[in-house]
Structure 1
Amino acid sequence: MQQPNAPEGRRGLITLNPRFWVVVLLTGVGAGLAGGALTLLLYLVQHTAFGYTEETFLQGVEQAPWWRRLGVLALAGLVAGLGWWLLRGPVSRWLGRSSGVSESVWSERGRMGFVRTALDAVLQIVIVGMGASLGREGAPREVAAALGSRLSELAGLTSAQRRTIIACGAGAGLAAVYDVPFGGALFTLEVLLGSLALPLVLPAVVTSVLAAVSAWVVLGDRPVYLAAALPTSGSVIVFAVLVAPVAAVAAVGFVRLVAWSRRGRPTSWRLPLATTAVFTAIGALAIPFPELLGNGKGPVQLVLDGGGSLGLLVVLALLKPLATAASLRSGATGGLFTPTLATGALLGAALGHLWVLVWAGSPLGAYALIGGAAFLAASLQAPLSTVVLLLELTHVGQGLLVPLALAATLGTLVARLLERRSTYTAGLGDDLIGAPDPLAPDPECDRADAHPTITRPPWPPGPARR
């Protein structure tokens, strides 16, 4: 069936057929339930590892004795190394090879094995709960994408449809754990698919909204970050214009650091040695700086509340990305969304401390959000999804909409001039073909064994050929 917005005589890859939409609905609900279950597992590991009950994770880590921070991180490194050595070595003989989300979306050869992906996701959640400096959203994003991949194969969908379902599942996983239905949909479209065409917008929105609503059953409906009302002021607008290029340059450095961390990672017996050594070193740094542990939610909330001295914020803004990159380099796997946001928020808050000496006018949390928007948008090269994600994560309303949009747009433009890769494409190689084009002819609609012609969209989410 031809899409309603497709040009005359052209058939979209994403056809409006019942099987496709059944898979969309099941993927959305499955993403929400999986995200809720993995989040509960995260909370269980956090409370057990650091021995706290009612406090937040950062408060629990701060109250834990120094030897517990060091010991838990050393144990996390050993668990991570042995776990991934098994998954990537002996166990892979039975479970087979499994691609990540990006490879599966941007390569026709990519396939996500559900069982192996699920085991990998549980391992990610366990080490993040034990304090690894990685994001918790990576696990539910991959499980939801793998579920969509498996359902697509069972339903006999075409290659382009399957790859689109994988992208929608990944965005739905993000929507579920952070309660960001529209941010998750825009993440699918802007970061993974690189297109806002209607045939892609519809399944992306449906899966993310269903995932967020399904996760409410387990997690409830509340913002991830608590922020007071932050109205726009002249000081904030000028700050957004001035800080965006600075944050963008820093973000380009972070993207290149991520690319480096994904190259030449240890394998075989070297993997558990590397993860144990790196995680132990991070645990030692956490003795004076407990804010380094975890995905970065604690530091973001700290600066939104106006806390942290200038010296502490500068140190954390330097150490947080280094800890994340070192974890990846050691062979660990995890999300990058919250560590990226935390780095940008810390940078924005540090610069905000200096800016208010020149032109006071807004709380420190406003400058932190501006810095987070510029840094995150530049790292993802996705200004639209960044703005919507921050509005949904904090529920600050429209008070900061204009400066957030300014910072995200200018940050993306400056970063785009210096580096075409994002944190999701850095280090993945240059042989990926890009996302499915929803307006390209799809031979698989007529012949199941045919291979569709895929064209790279004009704003490619995949790595540029350099």
Structure 2
Amino acid sequence: MSHSKRTLRQLFTGPSHSLLLLVVMGCVIGVVAGLVMASFIALLNLVLGRLNGETLEDFESLSMGWRFGLPILGSCLLILLYRFTPKSAQSVGLVYVLERLQFGRGRLPLANTLFQFVAALISLGSGHSVGREGPAVQMGSGVASLLGQYTDRPPSQLRLLVGCGTAAAISAAFNTPLAGVLFAMEVVLMEYSILGFAPIIASAITASAFTGSLLGTHSILTPTRLSLADYGDIPSLLMTGVWVGIVAVLFHYLVRLFLRFPVKSRAVRLLLAGFITGSLALFVPQILGSGYDTINATLADQLPVLLLLLVLGAKLVATAAAIGFGVPGGQIAPMLMLGVCAGGIAGALVPGGSEPGLYALLGMAAMMGAMLHAPLAAIATVLELSLSAEAMFPAMTVVLTANLVCQHGFRQPSLILTLLKQQGRLLQTHPLRAALAQRYLSELAHFEFIIVDLGATEQKRPPEHDSIATLIEQPALWLVIRQQEQCYLLKKSVLEQAYQQHESEQLPTLNELLTPLLKDNLQLMELSEDASLLTGFKIIQKEDIRGFLIPIGQQGLGLVTRRRLVKMLTSDEAMY
């Protein structure tokens, strides 16, 4: 190991429960994620600037041929990218991050992060109806995961660092640190923890400050001061929430329709997405790209109702096609545009004295909250965009109503869960099972044991394992006995007691003394890789085993006893 690598490991190696260490790592992640996002934003702006001029998102100024052909060209480039990229590196986006958190111990490969960087540039630069949030989460989480793996963090901390990367990327991309923190905890980690807040906040504010120093002011959405005119407008707020909730349900149905489209070829599906988007853009060019210019215009009440209705319908189809056909990009920006159009329509039609721009802002938050089941992150977005706490009451009213309509009225799951289910992955949503699925056996493992291989010859077995007396003198508490293809767990005191009780003048061999002690209920299960606590409990529920042997990185094999696993649920022993 090189001196620099050893120094870095030592710098970030400390007690696993050290809050200060996690905060420092959060700051490092914020700087690195900020640098990655600044590079991505600069390259994306360069591409959009060559196409649309200084306005970047002004796809409306393109000719008819470019409106139709640009998304198709983007699809062709994506097909080529997929063709020359290993299949293992092609899984990307927010859905992939969540899948790796629950089923991959939070380990995100570098190749997938690099693929996401290039694929997102192509998708966003060619006008596909996707956003930069999914790629931002993938890239920020990838950076954080690589740092955690490099410094040998346990799986639970690796998971927390992925949350830091998510918050840093969202904060850097949109200059919204509070929304980044809540998005990371509500959507990605799906939990709020006292230990998690400090590192994630540190990561978000570091990324926002660092990216701001590199790019200057880079807010994508224009902050606007909007507030409720009168509490008499509450019925209008409730109607807006119901309307946006129905739009969210319709969008969910359309996404599932395209997901189930009877074409398996990735190339054909990408071309179909490009063709649908290009065809709609001939008549409604506002649907191309993330649509931030349209969002800002709607918030400023610059678009008529009929145009908003037309954009809403076309954007619903184009975005559902992009998501359903697998265009690599984010889902949140299109959701915000759908919500702002739906809210703007409601603001122009419902009675009351509040500005239509307020309803557009509330619709944006309600759509995001309803589709992702993330009401707090959605409300935080309103707070950071409205620059006024007065917008909190109407925001909570509309977001709550839309969530109730979508989640309970029509029983729609989160869009992320729908996309994972399509891939054959089911996230645990029950609180206890989810908590167990997010922690790993390696976090309970210890190394106070000696492995004795009874099948090894005397020449292959270590000398200290040939002498029973020498073996007993070893400081370890446990003996792991290998016999043929089975492993057994034995307390060293049991061996010592059997040795002392042996009355024969001829001392027994190690095999002769140990073999009678190996009972079926002392068997260990040796796993080929780390497993979640939920998996561990399922195994011991079915198998009468004493515990697990699991590989733990450079540390080798770790031992998790059945008693320690059960004790974890019944004692105050910390997980970190």
- TM-score category, normalised to shorter length: 0.7 to 0.9
Q: Within 2, Cα distance between the matches of 1:305 and 1:278? A: 31
TM-score, normalised via structure 1 length: 0.84
TM-aligned CA distance change 1:57 to 1:265, over 3 Å: farther
TM-aligned CA distance change 1:223 to 1:110, over 3 Å: closer
Please state if 1:195 is matched with 2:191: yes
SS in 1 for 2:387: coil
Residue deviations 1:375-403 (CA, integer Å, cap 9, x gap)? 221112111111111222x2432232210
Please state if 1:57 is matched with 2:57: yes
The residue aligned with 1:44 is: 46
How far has the Cα of 1:266 moved from its partner? 5.5
Residue deviations 1:323-357 (CA, integer Å, cap 9, x gap)? 011112333121011100110110111122111xx
TM-aligned CA distance change 1:405 to 1:97, over 3 Å: closer
Note the residue ranges of structure 2 that are not aligned, 5 or more in a row. Answer: 1-14, 448-528, 536-576
What one-letter code is carried by the residue in structure 2 that aligns with 1:167? G
Q: Within 2, Cα distance between the matches of 1:123 and 1:44? A: 16
Write the mapping of 1:274-313 to structure 2, written as runs, cut at 5 A. Answer: 274-313=269-308
Q: Within 2, Cα distance between the matches of 1:116 and 1:191? A: 21
Q: Within 1, Cα distance between the matches of 2:413 and 2:47? A: 34
Structure (1 or 2) with the larger CA radius of gyration: 2
TM-aligned CA distance change 1:263 to 1:147, over 3 Å: farther
The residue aligned with 1:166 is: 162
Residue deviations 1:218-260 (CA, integer Å, cap 9, x gap)? 3323543225432321255332222112212321332343345
What one-letter code is carried by the residue in structure 2 that aligns with 1:207? S
The residue aligned with 2:416 is: 424
The residue aligned with 2:338 is: 343
Aligned alpha-carbon RMSD (Å): 2.8
Residue deviations 1:264-319 (CA, integer Å, cap 9, x gap)? 7865xx32333223313312321221101011212211211212222211121122
The residue aligned with 1:243 is: 240
The residue aligned with 1:23 is: 25
What one-letter code is carried by the residue in structure 2 that aligns with 1:182? L
Write the mapping of 1:64-75 to structure 2, written as runs, cut at 5 A. Answer: 64-75=62-73
SS in 2 for 1:425: helix
Aligned residues: 429
Q: Which has the higher contact order (CA 8 A, sep 6+)?
A: 1
Q: Within 2, Cα distance between the matches of 1:236 and 1:154? A: 54
TM-aligned CA distance change 1:335 to 1:96, over 3 Å: closer
- Which has the larger share of strand? 2
Q: 1:258 aligns with which of 255, 260, 285?
A: 255
Residue deviations 1:187-227 (CA, integer Å, cap 9, x gap)? 01111222222112222212212221121123323543225
Residue deviations 1:44-82 (CA, integer Å, cap 9, x gap)? 11122x2x3323422xx2222111222222211111222
TM-aligned CA distance change 1:316 to 1:442, over 3 Å: same
Q: 1:407 aligns with which of 394, 398, 407?
A: 398
Write the mapping of 1:214-253 to structure 2, written as runs, cut at 5 A. Answer: 214-234=210-230, 236-253=233-250
What one-letter code is carried by the residue in structure 1 that aligns with 2:25? V
Percent of aligned pairs with the same amino acid: 25
How far has the Cα of 1:174 moved from its partner? 1.3
Q: Does the 8 A contact of 1:236 with 1:367 survive in 2?
A: no
The residue aligned with 2:176 is: 180
Write the mapping of 1:70-89 to structure 2, written as runs, cut at 5 A. Answer: 70-87=68-85
TM-score, normalised via structure 2 length: 0.69
Q: Within 2, Cα distance between the matches of 1:263 and 1:162? A: 34
How far has the Cα of 1:96 moved from its partner? 8.9
Q: Does the 8 A contact of 1:96 with 1:113 survive in 2?
A: no
TM-aligned CA distance change 1:348 to 1:161, over 3 Å: same
How far has the Cα of 1:110 moved from its partner? 5.9
Q: Within 2, Cα distance between the matches of 1:123 and 1:97? A: 11
Q: Within 2, Cα distance between the matches of 1:441 and 1:77? A: 40
What one-letter code is carried by the residue in structure 1 that aligns with 2:178? F
